[in-house]
Structure 1
Amino acid sequence: MIRTFLYTISVSLALLSAFSLQAQVKPASPAGDTIRLTKPAQDSTLRRQATPPRKQDSIAARKQARPTPPVTRLPDSVYYVPGGLRVGVDISRFALLYFQPYRTDVTFQADARINKKLYGAIEMGYNRTSHSDTSYTYKGNGMYATIGVDYDFLKKRDKDEKNMVFAGIRYGFARNSYEVPNYRIISDYWGSDITGSYPKTSMTAHWIELCMGIRVEALKNFFLGWGIREKIMLSSSADDAFPPIVIPGFGSGNKRSQFDMTYTVSYYFPLYKLKVSESREPRKKKD
C-alpha cells in the first residue's frame, strides 16, 4: 500500500512539471494568420536627400560650385608724347596803344610740358607810361613776371597733338618807378595857381591770376591762342594818395582787381619726349 502511494505521488509530480513547462512556452501563431510587419522609420536626412531639389536651389548650387575666375591685370600702356618749349608774344598789348596811347607794353610768354596734362608757364613784360597835358606830366616804367601752371582739358585723338584747352593759375610780381616832374593846379574860385612836382618813387606789387584759354596749331609748330584772366591784387607798396597810373603786368594802379584778355602768337620748339604710363582696367577671364 505504501508502494502504491509513492507511485501515485511520483506520477502527480511528473504531470505538474509537464504542465509548468508547457505554460512557459509562447504559443505559435496559427499557419493561416497574416504576419503584420511594422515599417521601419526612415531617417529624415535620407528623406531630404531623396526630395528633388528646386530650380532656384540648383542654380545657386551651381554658382557656388563654379570656381571664381582669376582677375588678370593687364600690363600698363606705355607711350611717348612730344614735349618742348613754346615761346610767343602777346600781340594784344600793341592794340592797347589805340585805346591808351600813353602806355607801351611788351609781353613775352612761354610754356613747357611737364607731363601728359600739366604745363609750366611763365610770362615777362615791360611797361612804359608817359602822359602830359596842361595839368601835369607823368612818367613811369617797370617790369613784371608771372609764373604758374596750366592744365590741359582737351582729350586728344592723336598722342602727337599739341592743341590745348586749358585753365591755370599764376603768381605775379612787378617793380615800377614813377614820378610827376611838374603839375599845375588852377582854381578859379580861390584865384590860385599852384605848381609843383612829385619825386621819383619806386613800388612793388604782388597778385594772382586765374586764367583760361586755348592754343591751336595753325601751321606746323606755329600756334595762335587767346585767353581771359582775372587778376587779384595781394599787396602793393604804392602810396594811396598818389598811386601809379599803370602797374606793369597788372593794369590800373588804383584798382584791386583787373580783368584782362590776351592774344598770342607763338612757336613750338620740339626738344624732348615724355614717357606716359597708363594702367589698364583689370578684366575677368572668360569661361
Structure 2
Amino acid sequence: MKHTLKYFFSAFFLCMGLMLQAQEVKKDSVKPKKERYGVRVGADLFKLSRSFYDKDYKGIEFSGDYRLTRKYYLAAEIGNENKTTDEDQLNFTTKGSFLRLGFDYNMHENWLDLENMIYVGLRYGISTFSQELNSYKVYNPNPYFNETSTIAVGEKYSGLSAQWVEAVAGMKAQVFNNIFVGFSIRLSTLVSNRKPSGFDNLYIPGFNRTYDGDFGFGFNYSVSYFLPLYKKQVKMDQKKSDEAKAAK
C-alpha cells in the first residue's frame, strides 16, 4: 500500500505539471480546424516496476483506447499476474489472466490542439486464474513458548473465475509528440466469484486484493502511444463554446 500511494501522488503531480505547462505554452496559438481520432496503446509501468522490486510478484498489463467522439473513448486492458501472498495464517500463490472492457469520458477542455485527458469511466472485468495453497498455520489458543504449527500443503485449485464492475478516474498528459503518460485509480465490486471448496479468492488477477469479500481497489501508472487514423472537422459553434469554457 505504501508503494501504491507513493506512485499515486508522484503520477498525479507529474501529470498536473505537464498539462498546465502545455496549456500555458499553446493557449495563444491559433486553434486548428480539425481534431485527430485514432487508437492509443500502452503499458502499465506500475506492474512492470513492481516485478523488479517485489520478489513475490510478476505481472504485465497492456491498455488501449479508441476515440469515438470528442469526449467518449472505448477502452480496454488485458494482462497477466503471478502473485504469492504471505499472511499471518496463509501463504498462497495466484496465477491468471484478465480482461477489462468499457469506456472513458474526457472532462478536460483542451486549449487549441492539445489532447490531454482528465477522465472518468466504467469497466467490466473478467479473470480466469488458479490458486495454490502453499502452507497454513494452525491456530493454537494456548501456545507453549509461542509455539505455532505450519503445515505445507501445495494443493492447487484450477478453473477459477471472477467478474466485476469498476469505476475509473484518471489523467493522461502528452509529453512528446503522440506519447502520453498518465495514471488511474479504480474502485471495483464483484459480480460473480467462483471460489474453490474450502478456500477463498483473497487475490484476483486484474481485480487485486479483495476487501470485505466483494470490494477492491486498483491503481496504474502508464505510458502510451497515439496512432492517428483520421481527422474530423470541428463545428464553428462547438469551437466557440469550447473556447468560452476554456477562457473562464
Alignment CA distance shift 1:114-1:192 (3 Å): closer
Q: State the SS of the aligned residue for 1:94.
A: helix
Alignment of 1:1-287 (within 5 A): 80-97=34-51, 101-130=55-84, 138-158=92-112, 160-180=113-133, 185=138, 196-239=153-196, 241-253=198-210, 255-277=213-235
- Counterpart of 1:283 in structure 2 is none
- Counterpart of 2:23 in structure 1 is none
TM superposition shift of 1:198: 2.5
Q: In proportion to residue count, which structure has more strand?
A: 2
Deviation string, structure 1 residues 211-261 (Cα, Å, up to 9, x no partner): 111111001111011111111111101137412342100012464111222
Any stretches of 5+ residues in structure 1 without a counterpart? 1-78, 281-287
- Counterpart of 1:46 in structure 2 is none
CA–CA distance in structure 2, aligned partners of residues 200 and 229 of structure 1 = 27
What is the letter of the counterpart of residue 57 of structure 2? R
Report the TM-score, using the length of structure 2 for normalisation: 0.69
Tell me how large the CA RMSD over aligned residues is.
3.2
CA–CA distance in structure 2, aligned partners of residues 81 and 198 of structure 1 = 55
TM superposition shift of 1:182: 5.9
Q: State the SS of the aligned residue for 1:207.
A: strand
CA–CA distance in structure 2, aligned partners of residues 196 and 100 of structure 1 = 24
Instruction: Provide the identity percentage.
Output: 28
Any stretches of 5+ residues in structure 2 without a counterpart? 1-32, 239-248
TM superposition shift of 1:85: 0.9
TM superposition shift of 1:161: 2.4
What is the letter of the counterpart of residue 165 of structure 2? I
Structure (1 or 2) with the larger CA radius of gyration: 1
Q: State the SS of the aligned residue for 1:92.
A: helix
CA–CA distance in structure 2, aligned partners of residues 217 and 196 of structure 1 = 50
CA–CA distance in structure 1, aligned partners of residues 181 and 41 of structure 2 = 11
- Counterpart of 1:26 in structure 2 is none
Q: State the SS of the aligned residue for 1:93.
A: helix
Kindly report structure 1 stretches of 4+ aligned residues shifted beyond 6 Å: 189-193
Report the TM-score, using the length of structure 1 for normalisation: 0.60
Tell me the matched-pair count: 201
